[in-house]
């Protein structure tokens, strides 16, 4: 069996797309419909704020020990990830909380300022 088009293993297979996957095409948009109590539709989440709530949790809820465990868990989960994935994730870290002087050290990359 041969894979073609968006099924190619070299293509991004997830949404949201941050590594050159297919772009959204309005003519191929699924039609929305109404049920008894709801409207069903697909909405792009590209402009959603995915960091404010997590940043508030980090600043206002976690104590120093919990913050340390969190950064250890993040670094531990990224240790075997590819360089593009670790790079993307370490660039996302300051969006959570840029004032905290925690360093994430991951083999091949680092970021100062979780």
Q: What is the mean pLDDT of residues 108-114?
A: 44
On the question of pLDDT at 79 being above 80, the answer is no
On the question of pLDDT at 110 being above 60, the answer is no
Is the pTM higher than 0.85? The answer reads no
Q: What is the mean pLDDT of residues 107-112?
A: 46
Nearest CA among 61, 53, 55, 107 for reference residue 85: 107
Query: What is the DSSP code (8-state) at residue 107?
Result: T
Instruction: Specify the higher pLDDT residue, 36 or 6.
Output: 36
What does the alpha-carbon distance between residue 13 and residue 16 come to, in Å, rounded to a whole number?
Answer: 9
DSSP string, 37-80: S-EE-----TT---SHHHHHHHHHT--HHHHHHHHHHHHHHHTT
On the question of pLDDT at 21 being above 50, the answer is yes
Contact at 8 Å (CB) between 102 and 73?
Answer: no
On the question of pLDDT at 75 being above 70, the answer is yes
Contact at 8 Å (CB) between 75 and 106?
Answer: yes
Where are the domains positioned within the chain? 52-112
């Amino acid at each position: 069996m041969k894979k073609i088009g968006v099924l190619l293993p070299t293509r991004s297979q997830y949404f949201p797309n941050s590594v050159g996957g297919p772009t959204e095409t309005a003519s191929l948009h699924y039609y929305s419909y109404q049920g008894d109590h709801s409207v069903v539709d697909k909405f792009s989440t590209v402009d959603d704020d995915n960091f404010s709530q997590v940043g508030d949790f980090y600043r206002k809820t976690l104590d120093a020990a919990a913050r340390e465990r969190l950064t250890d868990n993040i670094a531990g989960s990224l240790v075997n990830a590819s360089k593009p994935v670790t790079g993307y994730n370490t660039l996302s870290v300051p969006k959570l909380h840029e004032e905290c002087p925690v360093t994430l050290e991951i083999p091949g990359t680092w970021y100062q300022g979780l």
